[in-house]
Amino acid sequence: MRYRFYCLIFLSFFFTNLSYGAIAPLDRIEPAFWWAGMKNPKLQLIVHGANISSREVQLTYHGVTLKNIHKVENPNYLFLDLELAPDVQAGKFNISFKRKGEKALSYSYELKSRNQSAKAQGVTNKDFVYLIMPDRFANGDKTNDVISGMNETSLNRDSMYLRHGGDLQGIINHLDYLQELGVTTLWLNPVLENDQPKTSYHGYANTENYKIDRRYGSNELYRKLVDELHKRGMKMMKDLVHNHVGTEHWTITDLPSKDWVHQWPSFTKTSYKDQVLFDPYASQADRKTMTDGWFDKHMADLNQSNVFVRNYITQSHIWWVEYSGLDGFRLDTYAYNDAGYMAEWARAVSAEYPDLTYFGETWVHGIPNQAFFTEGNTINQNFDTGLQSVTDFQALWGINEALNGKFGWNEGVNKLYTTIASDFMYKDPTRLVVFLANHDLPRFFSVVNEDVKKYKMGIAWLLTTRGIPQFYYGDEILMKGLTNPDGLVRLDFKGGWQGDNDNKFSASGRSASENEAFNFVKKLAVYRKKSPVLQTGKLMQYVPENGVYVYFRYNADKTVMVVMNTNKEDTSVSTGRFSERIGKASKAVNLITDESVGLSDKLNIPAQTTSVFELN
């Protein structure tokens, strides 16, 4: 009965929700402003207002041409196609909406001068990315904890489901901490306004495309955060959700047209089965369920075959780069999007910002599954997604098995070796984003059963293997938690709130084991930050033997040797086997212990240790 009730609500809401009143005569125009001199001369404005389509549109400005006026099912919408001449100047002009017998409505539109500050620098394998869930990191401004009139006004740090009050100012206040740790790039979980009735803290059901959530701050504060990062030589990534928006999004509560979202006779969830996208024997019905099914009842699945939807999404992303100076994007739930649209999106973004980078979340099991979504036609995809990089879940499964599994032909560290050996499937594996945890996964310290030795082994691998390392906030101080439910891996960073008994941002507030972990991450991260060999150096790996995995990172100037002993006993490794890479080097420095060791015969590696050596 409960399921039938929800289905009836779904049908009633989404098939009849073309309301014609209860909004202002001119509610909004998005994007609210643009820039002169953009490479793409085309700009599409979405206009929303009560029965706005019955009005005549006029504008006059040198270099701006109104090419087309599009009307859709809902008379509360107009879509205006503008074309901007190459020599158009920054300035303001009025867009008038006239109807006989009534006073004209007018909107002052502005073309701004382009942002000349640092922007779109790209996030590469030279970086170390730190992922923050803003609501759970630090509260720098208590005045925005609760905003009157929003759908969710609860504030309770004892609840995993309610908001805790973390914000952008809290992040700004702790940039020194992040810089000390060796972080070069921030990735924040979505910070667009999420005015949903519940669990709005995670941000993945946004209700605005051009507005920072007021409980985090403002658009201006977001831009300030990016500027502060750039002043420190750091970068900012934005988390984008193409696939869906919250059901309280203004285009959902007043649909422009029925095909703005994917409609079903009754509520239909995605199958989450990525295999149907490349299965040569898959049915069209299964593919449709995968891509057009909804993530959840509160996440409206956008119909990206609708050209107005496509333009709305893409322009908002370009707007944020130009406005705030972003350097890269993370693309949420990438596999569930329309593949053709995502390739079009990649071309549009790269044409405007050639150095901007982006990677997609591909939570899949199987190396070919993952490679399928990446750019190029490396595994007979017969389609180029244009996606530069993905989150390397296969390497995650590999390192987890290496640390927790028993060594065998395909088990233990051999799984990690085999995963890296399959890099031939990618156009550029150095762009893969490697990680040990994120906001949807168990905390890494819990994955390794709170074993500090295994924890250090994983950290050492993360910061020495190929690709772009990404770290989850709090893992450097041994935060624990399993995803049962997800909120347990999204706990507050102690010290980020006034009155916290402990301040983990300070060495004096951390326990001995927490400081040990922090310093371990810091030492390797700072070394990596200063060492091109671990950023862009080539990789050579050797077949694991007896639970020991050896690989090298090297360039013309330096060689680093990494030895991972997954056994519970100490072991010795004959250096002769690795003469191809060791060459004439006779000594090395252990980057963890700072000890000098000889390379003439054998290396002694303690049990459950990943040793990192810089060869002299």
The length of the chain, given as a count of residues: 616
How far is the C-alpha of 509 from the C-alpha of 514, rounded, in Å? 9
How far is the C-alpha of 323 from the C-alpha of 208, rounded, in Å? 16
When pLDDT is cut at 50, 70 and 90, the band that residue 616 belongs to is confident
Q: Which residues contact 603 (CB under 8 A, 6 or more apart)?
A: 563, 572, 573, 575, 597, 611, 613
Q: Is the pLDDT of residue 66 over 70?
A: yes
How far is the C-alpha of 115 from the C-alpha of 92, rounded, in Å? 17
How far is the C-alpha of 172 from the C-alpha of 138, rounded, in Å? 9
Q: What string of DSSP letters covers 582-599?
A: HTT--EEEETTT--EEE-
Residue 533 near residue 555 (C-beta atoms within 8 A): yes
pLDDT tens digits, one per residue of 534-591:
999 999 999 999 999 999 999 999 999 999 999 999 999 999 999 999 999 999 999 9
Residue 334's SS3 state is helix
Catalytic pick among 30, 208, 332, 475: 332
pLDDT tens digits, one per residue of 424-459:
999 999 999 999 999 999 999 999 999 999 999 999
Can you give the pLDDT at residue 428?
A: 97
Q: Which residues contact 16 (CB under 8 A, 6 or more apart)?
A: none
Q: Is the pLDDT of residue 78 over 90?
A: yes
How far is the C-alpha of 435 from the C-alpha of 433, rounded, in Å? 7
Tell me what the mean pLDDT of segment 187-204 comes to: 97
Query: Which is it for the CA torsion 246, 326, 160, 390, positive or negative?
Result: positive
How far is the C-alpha of 170 from the C-alpha of 177, rounded, in Å? 12
Active site residue 361: yes
Can you give the pLDDT at residue 103?
A: 93
Can you give the pLDDT at residue 370?
A: 98
Within 10 A of 171 (CB to CB), how many other CB atoms are there? 26
Tell me what the mean pLDDT of segment 362-373 comes to: 97
Q: Is the pLDDT of residue 308 over 70?
A: yes
Main-chain phi, psi angles of 50, to 5 degrees: -60, 115
Q: Is the pLDDT of residue 352 over 80?
A: yes
Tell me what the mean pLDDT of segment 359-379 comes to: 97
Tell me what the mean pLDDT of segment 221-225 comes to: 98
Tell me what the mean pLDDT of segment 10-19 comes to: 44
Tell me what the mean pLDDT of segment 317-321 comes to: 98
- Give the whole-number percent of the chain exceeding pLDDT 90: 96
Helices marked H in 325-392 — which ranges? 339-352, 367-371
Active site residue 332: yes
Residue for token digits 């499937």? 425
Which amino acid does the sequence have at 501? N
Can you give the pLDDT at residue 14?
A: 46
How far is the C-alpha of 476 from the C-alpha of 520, rounded, in Å? 8
How far is the C-alpha of 599 from the C-alpha of 616, rounded, in Å? 10
Contacts 24+ apart (CB under 8 A), 224-231: 224/172, 225/168, 225/171, 225/172, 226/324, 226/325, 226/326, 227/117, 227/325, 228/172, 228/175, 229/175, 229/186, 230/117, 230/118, 230/325
Helices marked H in 299-381 — which ranges? 307-324, 339-352, 367-371
Can you give the pLDDT at residue 2?
A: 31
Can you give the pLDDT at residue 22?
A: 84
How far is the C-alpha of 480 from the C-alpha of 72, rounded, in Å? 51
When pLDDT is cut at 50, 70 and 90, the band that residue 9 belongs to is very low
Q: Is the pLDDT of residue 12 over 70?
A: no
How far is the C-alpha of 163 from the C-alpha of 147, rounded, in Å? 12
Q: What does pLDDT average to over the chain?
A: 95
Q: Is the pLDDT of residue 11 over 70?
A: no
Q: Is the pLDDT of residue 13 over 70?
A: no
pLDDT tens digits, one per residue of 134-180:
999 999 999 999 999 999 999 999 999 999 999 999 999 999 999 99
Catalytic pick among 135, 361, 375, 492: 361
Tell me what the mean pLDDT of segment 509-523 comes to: 98
Domains by residue range for the chain, with CATH: 2-112 (2.60.40.10), 129-241+324-530 (3.20.20.80), 538-615 (2.60.40.1180)
Residue 25 near residue 50 (C-beta atoms within 8 A): yes
